[in-house]
Amino acid sequence: MHNQFKAQSTSIIIVILALIIAVGGGYIFLQSRSQKVAVETTTTIPTTTTQEPITTTITATPTTKSVFVAPSNWIVYKDTKNGFEFTYPKHFFFSDPVVAVYDCSNLSVFPSRCSEFNLKYYYPEVSNDESSTGTRIVINNMQFCVNSVKEGAMGSTYDTVFYMTLKNKKCIVIKTVIQIYNNCVDVDNPTKCEAHNQNNYTVLNQVISTLHFFNPNGN
């Protein structure tokens, strides 16, 4: 009887210890699990920083049209009586420029038709048709009527170009003569030929762009 009671007591104690161990183990497991979840949760939260917006200010740069500046070795043509001058390169023209100034008191503004300059009266070599079909152009903010008379000779053409403008009711005509090739198709290097002709007209316009006015009889 005594041995039976002792055996039952031992069994009860074993069960109680087993329960204590199970409960304790479960508690420890849950604690470690909750800590692991907490760590995982903490490490997976991304950190964010506030960045100020980047702004770029674009300042527009005004475009300016380049102004041609004549080389220092260009020749100066100066008319102190009528108050104007221009420059041109030496040995560029077939002959030096010729300038004519005549009264245009009948013109208060630049004429709407180039024929109103009456170019033929001052240059007889210009025909009536050529005098009346001038082309209006603007160079360096100045208006001009331009007439061209071409004459061929020995594979080349001599182009006599007249630039006419109006200032203080005076007509100013600058007569220039340049040499160009009259047919670039039949030459060995057509591209070079055309470039030569184009360059001559470019330089011619640069010459006219140097024209400026000052007080008559002044410096």
164-212: pLDDT as tens digits: 999 989 999 999 999 888 778 777 888 888 998 899 999 999 999 999 9
121-155 pLDDT per residue, tens? 777 777 777 666 788 999 989 999 999 888 876 66
User: CA-CA distances (angstroms) from residue 185 to 8, 158, 192, 196?
Assistant: 130, 18, 11, 13
pLDDT interval class at 32 (50, 70, 90): low
In a domain, 103, yes or no: yes
pLDDT interval class at 43 (50, 70, 90): very low
In a domain, 34, yes or no: no
Residues 6+ apart with CB under 8 A from 109: 166
In a domain, 68, yes or no: no
In a domain, 119, yes or no: yes
pLDDT over 50 (residue 42)? no
In a domain, 181, yes or no: yes
User: What CATH number corresponds to the domain at position 95?
Assistant: 3.40.1000
Residues 6+ apart with CB under 8 A from 144: 136, 137, 138, 163, 164, 165, 208
pTM here is 0.65
Residue with tokens 């007249």: 162
Q: How far apart, in whole angstroms, are the C-alpha atoms of residue 210 and residue 131?
A: 25
Q: How far apart, in whole angstroms, are the C-alpha atoms of residue 182 and residue 153?
A: 9
Q: Are 43 and 178 in contact (CB under 8 A)?
A: no
In a domain, 72, yes or no: no
In a domain, 65, yes or no: no
Residue with tokens 């061209």: 148
Question: How many distinct structural domains can be found in the chain?
Answer: 1
Tokens read off for 163: 């630039």
Give pLDDT, residue 22. 62
In a domain, 102, yes or no: yes
Q: Identify any residues that bridge with 98 across adjacent strands, giving them in sequence order.
A: 175
Give pLDDT, residue 39. 44
Give pLDDT, residue 41. 45
Give pLDDT, residue 190. 85
Residue 130 domain boundaries: 84-212
